Chain A
Amino acid sequence: MPEVRLPEQFRDLEQWIGWSLETEGERSDRRQASTMEDITAFYEAMLARMEEVLPYLEQFSLEELPDDAKRLFYLTLSLAEVAPAVEQFGQPSVVDGYDIKRFVASHR
């Protein structure tokens, strides 16, 4: 049996666990390194569950998220990360954008 990583009712999102990343830098790197096909599939899968995911997460305070809920929460942050790629640019990176690797985040 593989380790259960997400809350039981969100097991269908387990296949996207690779997007459960803690920092903006990691999420941005994954977005930039992914194909639009992968990004869109992740985006659609998450979007379809967000009406349940957010109320579930809202049971907890940010500081006291259980580990499985925290992994789910990081998936929502990755949804925020990929949203412009799907909704605005139609490609992983900003169209005609500055090189994001040179735009260094000092936050996590």
Chain B
Amino acid sequence: MSTTPDGNLANGNGAASGYKWHKKYPHLGTGPVPADVFTSHEQFELERERIFKKAWLNVGRVERIPNPGDYFVQDLAVCNTSVIVVRGKDGAVHAFHNMCSHRGNKIVWDKDGTCQNFTCKFHGWSYGLDGRLKFVPDEESFFDLKKETLGLTPVAVGVWEGFIFINVDPNPIETLQEYLGDLASGLEGYPFSAFSTTSTSWTSEVNANWKVIKDAFQEVYHIAFLHKRSIPDSFTSKDNPYAHSLDVTLYPRHGSMSLFGSADYKPSPVAKLAAQHGEIVIRSDFSMDGLPAGVNPLRSEAWALDLNVIFPAFFVDVSQGSYFTHQFMPISVDKTLWTSTQYYTKATTPGRRFSQEYGNVIFRDIIMEDGRTFEETQSMLSSGAKKEFYLHDEEILIRHSHHVIDQMLKGQPVDRALAATGKEAAAHA
């Protein structure tokens, strides 16, 4: 098997691309995608009901609630609810609608904390960490109150590799493990816990549709242009000027893309200093020993990182010494809560911490370049001047994502055979 960039990037100059990813996944076709999916209120309402209220949604990591009684609140405008995520006395993670059984008041108003009971501020009804209704003030004056039936309404919750997911469907049709499928099994064994002992996270309310933001982060075609100042030579090279990716794997709903990292990369003076004290720099030496099969799947020496896009709107992007996530929580058709988080092994030395801070600043500034396009794009989408958009072969994750959304909105089953189809096509290529 070829592990050099040459083998994978024979058509890297883009003159005759070879339509590599289209050939691997021909069922997605080559046609344009409609423009109104980013602005249609009807579309958004369908996405709410048929995607976000049915899917497993990431709400954070277990490190945020290490001890029994630790909790945080995730407001989920797109699911018309707010959810309490809590570590129970049993040590397990539980989730509940953040709503009192008495007359519906939102129980927890702060973002996070630690408690023994959740007590409603309105009339003092009190619930245990397991959601059971424990105390009702002046209970004798109620009529036929059956406290055992009046606990907090549970929300399905699952934990994978330390990532907490919830599903507001009262009867999810799949377990979290089934939902994540082969994407998850390919990543298991990556040191997520070891790399999550500290993190840096930013949030912004963006005036753009969630798919505008998602799509901006799931293709590499933009790198040579939008990021020409920040990372001019990290993902592109003389032989691969358009940052063509190393590999793409599509799953029934999710998708992964393995990104080329350039040997031409010339570190700046401060990048060199940072590289002496840490690993949070693109293209530092790395070992492929012990990486799970789903990370750098081609075992390429020209590997930078992998995008792992978990449907509908959560990214787990892994590299050799750290990983980062993007989470997009829709608020309305043209408003989205964007959160990006970079995870590290906690530094114990000043040099390591300096190196991480450099990685932190570089990451933040790069995604500031991405961020500018979100509202600029949305502001023009609302003009309706364009009816459809044309996708590059390297934009196949976008094509796939729109295909899956379309299927779900039409109530069609997802393509269970998709991964197999892709493997077959690759084998015949």
Q: Which residues of A contact B (CB under 8 A)?
A: 24, 47, 50, 54, 57-58, 60-63, 65, 69, 73, 76-77, 79-81, 83-84, 87-89, 94-98, 100, 102-107
Among candidates B202, B229, B274, B357, residue contacting A103 with C-beta atoms closer than 8 Å? B202
User: What is the bound-complex CA distance between A84 and B232, given in angstroms?
Assistant: 12
- Residue B369, interface by CB 8 Å: yes
Among candidates A63, A80, A98, A102, residue contacting B361 with C-beta atoms closer than 8 Å? A80
Also in contact, A57 and B368, with CB within 8 A (given A81-B357, A105-B200): no
What are the residues of chain B within 8 A of A24 when measuring CB–CB? 200, 357, 360-361
**Contact indicator A97/B347 (Cβ below 8 Å):** no
- Residue B241, interface by CB 8 Å: no
- Residue B40, interface by CB 8 Å: no
The 8 A CB mask of B343-377 against A (1 = contact, 0 = none) is: 00001111111100110111011011111101000
User: What is the bound-complex CA distance between A50 and B355, given in angstroms?
Assistant: 12
Interface of A is mostly: helix
**Contact indicator B348/A50 (Cβ below 8 Å):** no
- Residue B277, interface by CB 8 Å: yes
- Residue B175, interface by CB 8 Å: no
Listed by A's residue number, 13 A-B pairs whose Cβ atoms lie within 8 Å are A58-B349, A58-B351, A61-B349, A62-B349, A62-B353, A73-B350, A76-B354, A81-B361, A83-B362, A84-B230, A94-B230, A98-B372, A103-B203
**Contact indicator B350/A102 (Cβ below 8 Å):** no
Size bracket, chain B contacts: 35 or more
What are the residues of chain A within 8 A of B200 when measuring CB–CB? 24, 105, 107
Among candidates B350, B364, B369, residue contacting A76 with C-beta atoms closer than 8 Å? B350
> Most chain-B CB neighbours within 10 Å: which of A65, A88, A104?
A88
Also in contact, A80 and B351, with CB within 8 A (given A47-B270, A107-B200): no
**Contact indicator A97/B270 (Cβ below 8 Å):** no
Closest chain-A Cβ to B375's Cβ sits at a distance in Å of 8
What are the residues of chain A within 8 A of B369 when measuring CB–CB? 94-98
Also in contact, A62 and B229, with CB within 8 A (given A77-B357, A84-B365, A98-B368): no
Among candidates A57, A83, A95, A100, residue contacting B270 with C-beta atoms closer than 8 Å? A83
**Contact indicator A63/B348 (Cβ below 8 Å):** yes
- Residue B407, interface by CB 8 Å: no
- Residue B31, interface by CB 8 Å: no
Closest chain-B Cβ to A89's Cβ sits at a distance in Å of 6
What are the residues of chain A within 8 A of B171 when measuring CB–CB? none
User: What is the bound-complex CA distance between A102 and B367, given in angstroms?
Assistant: 13
Q: Which chain A residue has the least Cβ–Cβ distance from B268?
A: A87
